[in-house]
Amino acid sequence: MLFTSLEFFIFLPLVLLLFSAMPAGQRWAVLLFASYVFYGIWQPFNLVYLGAVTLLVYGCGWALDRERHSAVRKALLVAGLVALLGSLVAFKFYDFIAGELERSFSSVFGFVLPKLGISTPVGYSFYAFSAASYLIDIYARRLCGTRHLGHVGTYVAYFPKIFAGPIERATEFLPQITRDLRTDPNRTLLGLQLIGWGLFKKVAIADNLAPLVDRNFGIVAFASPVELLISVYFFAFQIYCDFSGYTDIAIGVSLLFGIQLMENFRRPYLARSTAEFWGERWHISLGHWFRDYLYIPLGGSRSGVLRQYINVMVVFIVSGLWHAGLGYGVGWTFLIWGALNGAYQWAGLATRGLWGRLGDLLPALRQSAALFLVRILLTFHLVAIAWVFFRAKSVGDALMVLQKIGANLLEIPSLVVQYPFTAEHGLGFGLIAFLFVVETLDERKPFTQRLAAAPTILRWSYYYIVIFGLLILGRWQAKEFIYMQF
């Protein structure tokens, strides 16, 4: 069931009615039931995976909480993580690795490896990581293992976040559903605003940019440099609006039930460095997951400069592997995407001291609006270059896109003047400009606060703009959310 489907707009009010009718202390049960319906409608057999993960983490968590011997606790944790993350690796990579080995060695050894022939269950990457964090937090004594199977089941399966996050922590989520769940008028208003804005980003912006992106990335060898450049820019905003749109809807829907999910995006294309982009603005829940459960356990920056550089690259390569299979298949492009972003972090670490000393020598630079804008533009283009490997069907296609644009870079301005732009292009650029204005205003002061303080006529004018935009520009049920396809 998609957030953008008619079924969801029938499903959500029914769940809210049932939620309101239940005693406050039992409302978690409505959310658990609704979550299994929401997930099972997509593909009923996937409920088997969801149920298995729930029982696994419930049993392991309960045992970890009771056990006092460190060796046994460590064995329980390892067993639980191997089952969770090992199954994720098998779903994503086994058939790909088997195929690569066959292509490399079949002519020599003449063997054929068996294939699983199954894809990763929808949303599995997200709820497997949530389940893993639950076990790790219990092992680290940051969380007590609950004996309430229903609460654990609700945490794992909670329907607004199950397909594409945020990757919520049990330490934040479980306390909310174990107390009486109550709706709040202010949260409800904020939730509706987020749902509307998230839908606009998805169906009006992302899905209107998608056709041109898909078309040109599908014919890289025949597309012109200008077409490819436009597609690179459009894809950067497509993936942002698609993914952050999902997050906005998930957070908004949760607020209707009195539940606060963590922020997952913070206007990422206004970042002034790739470190800020990945650490503070893009897919924040995943970034924090890798920081807390991989980077810091590996030693972080505590074991010397060389170890820090290695740890940073490990995190980004693992992140690239986690993204593999994202609707664009499983291939080497995701590994390169992760390594390239890791290299950006290396460059940032290597030059951090230099920029700090330069700022001390020239204090005016720190407040320079021109330098601020240059840093934003440079960061955006570095990220956009990496997105080419994320979106391209193969490494060869990605390199061809960059080669075509790079070889004609000096001629791009004259080629743009001669290019026959269409209404499709105009709509895409107009939507991106509208998004940029909203996000720039939001960066200075949260847009929800601006709306709350605005005169009634302005506030309702904005609501009507979004509603009419959804009705006129929206491509309803045109595409799944990209990150659902993990």
* Residues known to be catalytic: 323
Number of Cβ within 10 Å of residue 330's Cβ equals: 20
CA–CA dist 133, 20 (Å, integer): 31
Contact of 231 with 202, CB cutoff 8 Å: no
Q: 383 to each of 24, 237, 309, how far by Cα in Å?
A: 45, 11, 20
Q: Tell me if residue 376 falls in helix, strand or coil.
A: helix
Q: CA–CA separation, 285 vs 308, rounded Å? A: 21
| Tokens at 376, concatenated | 């934003």
Query: Nearest Cα to 125, choosing from 277, 265, 330, 282?
Result: 330
Nearest to 157 by CA among 187, 191, 127, 115: 127
Three-state SS for 260?
coil
d(CA 304, CA 315): 17
- Sequence-separated (6 or more) residues with CB below 8 Å from residue 42: 1, 122
